[in-house]
Amino acid sequence: MRKQILVLPGDGIGPEVTKEALKVLKKVAKIFGHKFSFKYGLIGACAIEKEGIPFPSRTKRLCLLSDAVLLGAVGDPRYDNPKLKVRPEQGLLELRKTLGVFANLRPVFTFPSLFHISPLKEEILKEVDLIFVRELTGGIYFGEPRGRTEKGEKAFDTCIYSKEEILRVAKIAFDLAKKRKKKVTLVDKANVLATSRLWREVVMEYSKAYPEIKLECLYVDNMAMQLIKNPSQFDVVLTENMFGDILTDEASVISGSIGILPSASLGSRVFLYEPIHGSFPQAKGKNIANPIGAILSVALLFEFSFNLKKEAEVIKRAVRETLEQGFGTFDIVKENPLSTSELGEKIIKKIEEICEKKTFLRN
Ligand code: IPM
Ligand code: MN
């Protein structure tokens, strides 16, 4: 297979973890005989520094010419000042909008070898295997009007959704549930918000096309509680943009470290892959950040953009077995933690080992 991938390392620990993810991508491509070419672009704070804007036109052009986009992280505390007009995060939002990636998939899973680092009890962690489908290009993140009144003493944002925006992301959630445990949980605030009532109406109607799927609806405040009390009750969780943003950070606590969780953002053609951890500026340049979220994002890239399931499986298995051997970065291992690049190397060695046994090579 021949494909072009756009790599956007971004800010903070983005470049470090992306480097390891790329090594894994190249290794797996070589073993399985795929030819990938790579282009690199700027986004976020590094783009503001070099080009004055967080999503330069070159990056925009390149992402539309590529077959998939691999992103590290976006954000820098130097831009945290609320008075600033140009911020790194705007680049990420523009990227999502440009690619039209309306469905953000964020799987939440546990590794038994990491049960001890989660703040939750072991019996709660067993059998957790859920996936968030977060709407990513609508809602309050993008709604107009937004801004300040003339004198600046009031500010406003608009949460707006169309039936069409809800339907297309619902389809992704129900299709995923079909291949999984056949349950969709819609999270909303339908007791208060008009947009949530539209979500409920549209999704309940749409669910009739999937008689084998059980649909349940939960208010977001209850969900925040259920997610910690009994996360194994969930399979596919469908929700709007901002609820999804908040709940997926919460859900990352279940797995023990936000550093291990990947994401895939799906839309019409070019999909986007990024770890969910963000730029983690305190660790920038120290070679200590966990590369697993980025590496597992590569597994999702193989699976969702190129339908290469064996390649994805090899990466996931290599990560699991490396963790089972007790290797990890500082966020998951207290004694003798490995550096970002050392953990990357261990995972690559494991991939070689698995593939040498030939059980995963092409038939
Ligand atoms: C995320 C991030 C972004 C979001 C920020 C950086 C704009 O928190 O991907 O979850 O809010 O979507
Ligand atoms: Mn977030």
Which is the closest atom of ligand 1 to the Cα of 92?
7
Instruction: Assess whether 331 carries a catalytic annotation.
Output: no
pLDDT value for 243: 98
Q: State if residue 238 touches ligand 1 by the CB under 6 angstroms criterion.
A: no
Closest CA to 95 of 132, 77, 69: 69
Nearest CA to ligand 1 atom 4: 245
Nearest CA to ligand 1 atom 1: 245
Beta strand residue intervals within the chain, DSSP E: 2-10, 35-40, 68-73, 103-109, 129-135, 147-148, 155-156, 183-188, 214-219, 236-239, 262-266, 271-275
Instruction: Assess whether 80 carries a catalytic annotation.
Output: no
Q: State if residue 274 touches ligand 1 by the CB under 6 angstroms criterion.
A: no
CA distance 138 to 169: 11
- Tally Cβ neighbours within 10 Å of residue 339: 16
CA distance 22 to 13: 14
Entry pTM: 0.96
Closest CA to 238 of 208, 273, 199: 199
Query: pLDDT for 193-233, tens place per residue?
Result: 999 999 999 999 999 999 999 999 999 999 999 999 999 99
Nearest CA to ligand 1 atom 12: 245
pLDDT value for 1: 86
309-324 helix and 14-32 helix, angle to the nearest 10 degrees: 120
pLDDT value for 358: 67
- Tally Cβ neighbours within 10 Å of residue 192: 11
pLDDT value for 190: 98
Closest CA to 136 of 106, 175, 116: 106
Q: Which residues of the chain have a pLDDT value below 70?
A: 358-363
Q: 60, 189, 310, 316: which is the annotated catalytic residue?
A: 189
CA-only gyration radius of the chain, Å = 20
Nearest CA to ligand 1 atom 8: 245
**83 alpha carbon – ligand 2 mean position (Å):** 21
Q: State if residue 175 touches ligand 1 by the CB under 6 angstroms criterion.
A: no
Which is the closest atom of ligand 1 to the Cα of 89?
7
Contact 34/68 with Cβ under 8 angstroms?
A: no
Q: Residue 156, SS3? A: strand
Query: pLDDT for 146-184, tens place per residue?
Result: 999 999 999 999 999 999 999 999 999 999 999 999 999
155, amino acid identity: A
Query: pLDDT for 265-282, tens place per residue?
Result: 999 999 999 999 999 999
Q: 245, 284, 346, 350: which is the annotated catalytic residue?
A: 245
